[in-house]
Amino acid sequence: MGLLKTTLTIIGVIAGSYVGASSAMASGLTRTSRLKPKDTPESVGLFYQDVTFPSRGGESKLSGWIIPPKPHSNSKKAQIKDNPWIVMVQGNNASRSDRKTGMLDIALALVKHGFGVLMFDMRARGDSPSPKASAGYYERLDLQGASDYLVSKGSDRNRIGVLGFALGGAVALMAGSNPGNFGAVVSDSSFADYSLILKNSMSGFKRPLLLCFPGITFMAKAMYGIDISEISPARSIAQSDTPVLIIHGEDDLLISVDHARRLGRAIGASFDEIENGKETVWIVPGAGHMEAFRAQPEMYVQNVIKFFDAHLTNKAVTNEQLKPPTH
């Protein structure tokens, strides 16, 4: 009897520890650094308006900036109708003015070329008040809410593109794969599947934590409604006809460039397109995580604008027109 009691106690301790560890790691999906924007579009010479709008379904209130395209840059009111728009989405632990990524410099280039830009903070980030993040699962609704906002002001969904970075890039691929949300998607430094990110974070001395992976997925669903298996940009775009451009730094140590290769294969890109191309997958030599623009600013602007022009405006442009602006 004593042995049975001891055995049951040990089993209880192990089970309790497993549930506790799984719950703690699942709760980590809902936490992120709330970094407020340090700069505004005015810092690069752009007129802007503060805006708020709901995520699709109205669960979260989101804060952002709307920046009118160049012909209307001095307008008191952003001219949304009849213009192509780009929604820009930041990475996980970043704000919409992230300097490392060069978000405002990229926005300046887009606006000078004639695109309107909507920059916003996903839930639980920056000035958007929702308390819980979800590793991209519910953030898809935030990005879809941005599309809904522009459409409510007169924009055509087929003329709305999205440029997302890291987690924002993953969200862009997942939200953009749904028919009718966006006309084109550029994803910079995205993961292909969040399960791979989680498992890779449990390497080295953390390897025993892999035993908790089934528990993490169960607790994430039970406690927060987050289905980790659904956070898969690669699976999303494999089933989509939305035009996609994948950008990734070859030296990215946070999200391996192998994720870009997986994404490229998901959209049917050939080996040569993935390793040597720029029109479907562009692997940027010497660039780390979210550093592609900083590494090659002129080429970055050329590739991104050429891609959006092809799918949102049908304009033919020269490389001279695509040089990044100075400010």
Contact 56, 73 (CB under 8 A): no
Contacts of 293 (CB under 8 A, 6+ apart): 101, 102, 105, 106, 188, 300, 301
Contacts of 190 (CB under 8 A, 6+ apart): 164, 166, 167, 169, 170, 172, 173, 233, 246, 248, 255, 259, 260, 263
* DSSP characters over 210-223: GGGHHHHHHHHHHH
Tokens linked to 7 = 């055995």
Contact 247, 282 (CB under 8 A): yes
Taking only the tens of pLDDT, the chain with its 327 residues reads 576 666 655 666 555 656 666 777 777 788 888 788 889 999 999 999 999 999 998 888 999 999 999 755 555 556 777 789 999 999 988 889 888 899 999 999 999 999 999 999 999 998 898 778 999 999 999 999 999 999 999 999 999 999 999 999 999 999 998 878 899 999 999 999 999 998 887 766 566 667 778 888 888 899 999 999 999 999 999 989 999 999 999 999 999 999 999 999 999 999 899 998 888 999 999 999 999 999 999 999 999 999 999 999 865 555 455 556 565
Burial 288-319 (b: 16+ CB within 10 A, else e): bbbbbbbbbbebbbbbbbbbbbbbbbeeeeee
Place of tokens 């406690």: 223
Q: Minimal CA–CA distance to 117: which of 67, 56, 181?
A: 67
What is d(CA 312, CA 161) in angstroms, rounded to the nearest whole number? 7
How many other C-beta atoms are found inside a 10 Å radius of the C-beta of residue 49? 14
Burial 102-128 (b: 16+ CB within 10 A, else e): bbbbbbbbbbbbbbbbbbbbbbbbbbb
User: pTM here?
Assistant: 0.89
What beta strand segments (E) does the chain contain?
49-54, 61-67, 85-89, 116-120, 160-165, 184-188, 244-249, 281-284
Q: Minimal CA–CA distance to 109: which of 52, 146, 69, 64?
A: 69
* Radius of gyration for the alpha carbons in the chain, expressed in angstroms and rounded: 21
**In one letter, which amino acid is 153?**
K
Contact 93, 35 (CB under 8 A): yes
What is d(CA 99, CA 78) in angstroms, rounded to the nearest whole number? 25
Contacts of 79 (CB under 8 A, 6+ apart): 68, 69, 71, 72, 116
How many other C-beta atoms are found inside a 10 Å radius of the C-beta of residue 88? 28
Tokens linked to 79 = 């001219």
Contact 131, 124 (CB under 8 A): yes
Instruction: Tell me which CATH code domain 34-193+231-322 carries.
Output: 3.40.50.1820
For the chain, give every domain's residue range. Answer: 1-30+194-230, 34-193+231-322
Residue 208, exposed/middle/buried by CB under 10 A (0-12, 13-18, 19+)? Answer: exposed
Tokens linked to 235 = 């699976």
pLDDT given at position 180: 80
Contact 223, 202 (CB under 8 A): no
Tokens linked to 191 = 């993961």
